[in-house]
Amino acid sequence: MGVVMGDVEANSDSKLREEIVAGNGLLNRRTLLRGALLSAGIAAAGTAIVDAQENVGADAPEWMKTPGRPFSAYGTPSKWQEKVQRIFTLGPGRAGTGVSRTPLHLMEGTITPGGLHFERHHNGVPDIDPSRHELFIHGMVKRPLAFSLDAMMRYPMETRIYFVECAGNSGAYGAPQPAQITAGELNGLISCSEWTGVRLSTLLAEAGVNKEAKWVIAEGGDAAAMSRSIPLQKCMDDAMVALYQNGEAIRPEQGFPMRLLLPGFEGNMNVKWLRRLNVIDEPVDARDETSHYTELMPGGKARQFMFAMSAKSAILKPSFGMNMKGAGLYEISGLAWSGAGRISKVEISADAGKTWALAALTAPVLPKALTRFRLPWQWDGRPSTLMSRATDEVGGTQPTRASWVAEYAPGQGYHNNGIQSWGVGADGTVKNVYA
C-alpha cells in the first residue's frame, strides 16, 4: 500500500517501546517528526567516477533523453493516475438523479480537485448560459432585486475553504452487514474546496429583509428546480453565493455559474445553479426536506431540519482494498470534519476501541473544512482493528456505530457519523468490520 515508512529492525526495542502511546503499537504522533526511530549516523555514499568515454545518458530513463511533450491549454492528471476517478454506482454517462463519489482513498491532503468533487444531481447538469442567468431575491424584502453574474463579479468577495457533505454520505454504514467497499465508496459524498464568492448577507441587506422574514427558499436553475428552505439566520451568518471553486469558475457539476454555500450544512441545502431566493416567514416542506433528507426514528417520528453535519472521521490509509505488506512501521492517515466548527482532536485506536492515541492534525485546521490526521503505527503483523474518533471544538464527537444505529429506524442512511472500523488481517488485507 505504499506507506511503509522504513525499517525499524535496526532500532533497539526500548527505543520503540518509549514511543508507544496506546495499545497494539500506536506511536506518539510526533515520533516521526522527531526522527525518534532513526539510528544515528548514516554512512556517506561512495562517489562514482564516470569514465570519460561514457555518456551519462547510458543509464538514464528515456524521458530524460528526449524532449517532453508540448505545453497544454488545460492540464490533466498523469496517465498513470487514470484510476483516480469519481466512483459511480450506476456508471458514468447517466443523466437524471444520482450520485458520483470522490475517491478519497486514492487522494491525499484536504482539497478536492474540481473534477473529482462528488456529484449529486436531481435531473442532470444544466448547461446554463451565464449571460442569461440572474439570481432573483424577492419575497419579504423591501427591494426585490436581480443580480447578473457580471454584477455579482463587482461585489466584495471572500475566499474560504469548506467541505460540502451529502446528508446521505456513509449511508452504507447503517447496513446490517459491513459492506466490503472502498473508503471512497463508503465516504466519498464529501469534498472540500476553496470557495470564492459574495456573502449572501451583503445581497440580502441590499434587498432589505423585512422583520417578519425567518426563512429563505432557495431554488436551483436545473431541470428539477431543486428547492430547499434555509433559515434566514444561516443566510445572514456565513452563507455565500459562490462563484469560484479552487480558483476557477465553479464547475457545471457544482453549480455554474453560481451556487449557494452553507458552510457545515448538509450538501443538498447548498443549492447549485442558484437562481432564486424567496424570503419568507416559514419553511415550505419541499420534497427534499420531507420525503428526503429527514431522519426516521424507531418510533415512527422523523427528524426534520437537522441541518449541520456532525463531527466525523474516516481512516483512508489503510482502508479496504489495500494490502499491508508485512509487519513494520506504517502511517495511519485520514480525514476528519465537523459542520459545527474546527476539529479539536482525532483519536486512533488499533485495538478495537480499548485504547486511543491522539493523531497529529495537519495545519491549518479550519472550521467546517476537511482536516487531515496522521499517526505512526508499528504493526506487529497480527489481526488488528483500526478506528478513528473525531471531536470538534464545540464538544461534538462520534458515537459508536451501535449507538448511532439505535437512534434511527432500520435502513436509514442520513447523517451517519458513527465510528468506523477497518479490520487488518494477518495476511495484510483490510476489510470493513463492525466492532
Partner 1 sequence: MSMPKCLGIFPAAAFFLLPCICGAQGPNLGRPLTPEEIKKVDITVVPDGRGLPSGSGSVSAGAAVYAKTCQSCHGSQGAGKPQDQLTGGLGTLASGKPVKTPASYWPVATTLFDYIRRAMPITSPQSLTNDEVYAVTAYILSIDGIVPADTVLDAKSLPRVKMPNKDGFVTWWPKPPR
Q: Is 276 in the site for partner 1 (CB under 8 A)?
A: yes
Which residues, 153 to 172, sit near partner 1 by CB under 8 A? 154-156, 158
Q: Is 370 in the site for partner 1 (CB under 8 A)?
A: no
Question: Which of 203, 261, 332, 430: binder of partner 1 (CB under 8 A)?
Answer: 203
Least distance (Å) between residue 223 CB and partner 1 = 5
Q: Position 148: which residue type?
A: S
Handedness of CA 165, 354, 334, 410 (dihedral sign): negative
Least distance (Å) between residue 216 CB and partner 1 = 11
Q: CA of 87: how far to CAs of 175, 179, 402, in Å?
A: 19, 15, 27
Q: Which stretch binds partner 1 (CB under 8 A): 37-45, 107-115, 169-177, 289-297?
A: 289-297
Alpha-carbon distance of 406 to 78, in angstroms, equals 45
Phi and psi, residue 318, nearest 5°? -80, 160
**Cis peptide, bond prior to residue 257, ω within 30 of zero:** yes
| Contact assessment for residue 193 and residue 332, using Cβ atoms and an 8 Å cutoff | no
Q: Are strands 134-139 and 274-280 parallel, antiparallel or unpaired?
A: parallel
Residue with cell 442520513: 414
Q: Is 209 in the site for partner 1 (CB under 8 A)?
A: yes
Q: Is 134 in the site for partner 1 (CB under 8 A)?
A: yes
Q: Is 301 in the site for partner 1 (CB under 8 A)?
A: yes
Residue 417 contacts by C-beta under 8 Å, 6 or more apart in sequence? 170, 309, 310, 311, 312, 398, 399, 404
Q: Position 281: which residue type?
A: D
Handedness of CA 267, 271, 273, 274 (dihedral sign): negative
Residue 159 contacts by C-beta under 8 Å, 6 or more apart in sequence? 194, 195, 196, 244
Question: Which of 102, 112, 182, 278: binder of partner 1 (CB under 8 A)?
Answer: 278
Nearer to partner 1, 32 or 198 (CB): 198
Site string for partner 1, 93-132 (x = CB under 8 A): ---xx------------------------xx---------
Q: Is 207 in the site for partner 1 (CB under 8 A)?
A: yes
Q: Is 399 in the site for partner 1 (CB under 8 A)?
A: no
Which residues, 226 to 255, sit near partner 1 by CB under 8 A? 226-227, 231-233, 236
Question: Which of 136, 355, 393, 407: binder of partner 1 (CB under 8 A)?
Answer: 136
Q: Is 315 in the site for partner 1 (CB under 8 A)?
A: no
Nearer to partner 1, 79 or 143 (CB): 143
Q: Position 152: which residue type?
A: M
Q: Which stretch binds partner 1 (CB under 8 A): 61-69, 151-159, 336-344, 366-374?
A: 151-159
Alpha-carbon distance of 187 to 314, in angstroms, equals 8
Least distance (Å) between residue 74 CB and partner 1 = 31
Q: Is 212 in the site for partner 1 (CB under 8 A)?
A: no
Nearer to partner 1, 98 or 381 (CB): 98
Nearer to partner 1, 221 or 423 (CB): 221
Residue with cell 529492525: 9
Least distance (Å) between residue 331 CB and partner 1 = 38
Least distance (Å) between residue 430 CB and partner 1 = 32
Q: Is 273 in the site for partner 1 (CB under 8 A)?
A: no
Alpha-carbon distance of 335 to 317, in angstroms, equals 10
Number of chain residues interacting with partner 1 (CB under 8 A): 72
Question: Which of 32, 149, 189, 200: binder of partner 1 (CB under 8 A)?
Answer: 200
- 228 closest CA partner among 310, 312, 164, 285: 285
Question: What is the radius of gyration, based on Cα positions, of the chain?
Answer: 25
Alpha-carbon distance of 346 to 358, in angstroms, equals 6
Question: Which of 285, 326, 382, 427: binder of partner 1 (CB under 8 A)?
Answer: 285
